[in-house]
């Protein structure tokens, strides 16, 4: 997914331009720090104080040049307008967050408003068109059957959350002036791997296969996650 994001950034902005990046629901700040290390000016917004503390700790271990490019805020991603001016970012990320938001349209519209014209909106969501895949591949037939015709699912943490459909989000993005530019599938072959599984020896080949499938029909359509990139008109 990071590779897909870098590809989209490289395709839109001149090499070496210091971009203003907003990461909404940044968690422990993995992407935020990675992009700051790449030279960008990053703002993180996260509602969970524990996550914000973890991200601050990680940031404190970075060299001053990187620390000075990062601002971290505790707050709700649905309230970006309270913290920031419209049009003040080149890239807005919202990865792994929409699952937790009951009515995502207002959040996504708020994110699009944060973008300058030509800016990139990067969303990572659970694929609501392929919810039966995980249970089905695991041989959980009742679970697979129950996953049809719903956008609700239980995540690995045991939380009841929701998935998004490509068609619906495509319509949402068009309606808020940040139409879909590209989309990828993420976690096509690897969704059943445990979070704490050891890194396999052939990880490079695995990543290459995932990458290829993530941009190829029909594989990307049944990915566990969808990575949608909209561009502000």
Among residue numbers 9 through 28, which ones bind ligand SAM (CB under 6 A)?
Answer: 25-27
Binding-site member from 30, 88, 151, 190 for ligand SAM (CB under 6 A): 30
Cα–Cα distance, 224 to 205 (Å, whole number) = 19
| Closer residue to ligand SAM in complex, CB, 136/190 | 190
Minimum Å gap between C-beta 148 and ligand SAM is: 25
Minimum Å gap between C-beta 152 and ligand SAM is: 16
In angstroms, the first-to-last Cα distance of the chain is 24
Among residue numbers 38 through 57, which ones bind ligand SAM (CB under 6 A)?
Answer: 46-48, 51
Phi then psi dihedrals of residue 64, to 5 deg: -55, -40
Binding-site member from 20, 40, 95, 162 for ligand SAM (CB under 6 A): 95
Cα–Cα distance, 134 to 222 (Å, whole number) = 10
Minimum Å gap between C-beta 142 and ligand SAM is: 26
Which of the ranges 75-83, 84-92, 108-116, 225-233 carries the binding residues for ligand SAM, by CB under 6 A? Answer: 75-83
Binding-site member from 33, 35, 42, 101 for ligand SAM (CB under 6 A): 101
The CA–CA distances, whole Å, from 141 to 34, 156, 187 equal: 40, 18, 21
| Closer residue to ligand SAM in complex, CB, 101/173 | 101
Number of residues near ligand SAM (by CB under 6 A): 16
Q: Which residue is nearest to ligand SAM (CB)?
A: 27
Confirm or reject binding of residue 96 to ligand SAM (CB under 6 A).
yes
> Closest Cα partner for 98 from 146, 12, 168?
168
Cα–Cα distance, 8 to 119 (Å, whole number) = 11
The CA–CA distances, whole Å, from 115 to 54, 100, 111 equal: 27, 22, 7
Cα–Cα distance, 214 to 225 (Å, whole number) = 10
Which residues lie near ligand SAM (CB under 6 A)? 25-27, 30, 46-48, 51, 76-78, 95-97, 100-101
């Amino acid at each position: 997914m990071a590779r897909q994001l870098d590809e989209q950034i490289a395709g839109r902005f001149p090499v070496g331009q210091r971009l203003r990046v907003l990461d909404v629901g940044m968690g422990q700040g993995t992407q935020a720090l990675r992009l700051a290390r790449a030279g960008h000016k990053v703002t993180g917004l996260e509602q969970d104080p524990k996550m914000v503390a973890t991200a601050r700790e990680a940031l404190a271990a970075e060299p001053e040049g990187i620390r000075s490019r990062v601002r971290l805020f505790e707050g709700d991603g649905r309230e970006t307008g309270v913290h920031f001016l419209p049009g003040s970012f080149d890239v807005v990320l919202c990865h792994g967050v929409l699952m937790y938001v009951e009515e995502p349209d207002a959040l996504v519209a708020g994110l699009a408003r944060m973008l300058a014209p030509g800016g990139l909106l990067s969303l990572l969501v659970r694929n609501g068109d392929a919810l039966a895949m995980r249970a089905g591949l695991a041989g959980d037939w009742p679970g697979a059957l129950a996953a049809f015709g719903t956008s609700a699912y239980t995540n690995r943490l045991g939380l009841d959350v929701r998935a998004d459909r490509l068609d619906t989000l495509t319509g949402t993005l068009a309606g808020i002036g940040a139409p879909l530019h590209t989309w990828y599938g993420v976690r096509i072959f690897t969704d059943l791997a445990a979070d704490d599984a050891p890194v396999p020896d052939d990880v490079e080949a695995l990543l290459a296969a995932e990458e290829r499938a993530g941009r190829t029909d029909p594989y990307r359509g049944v990915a566990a996650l969808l990575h949608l990139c909209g561009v502000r008109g």
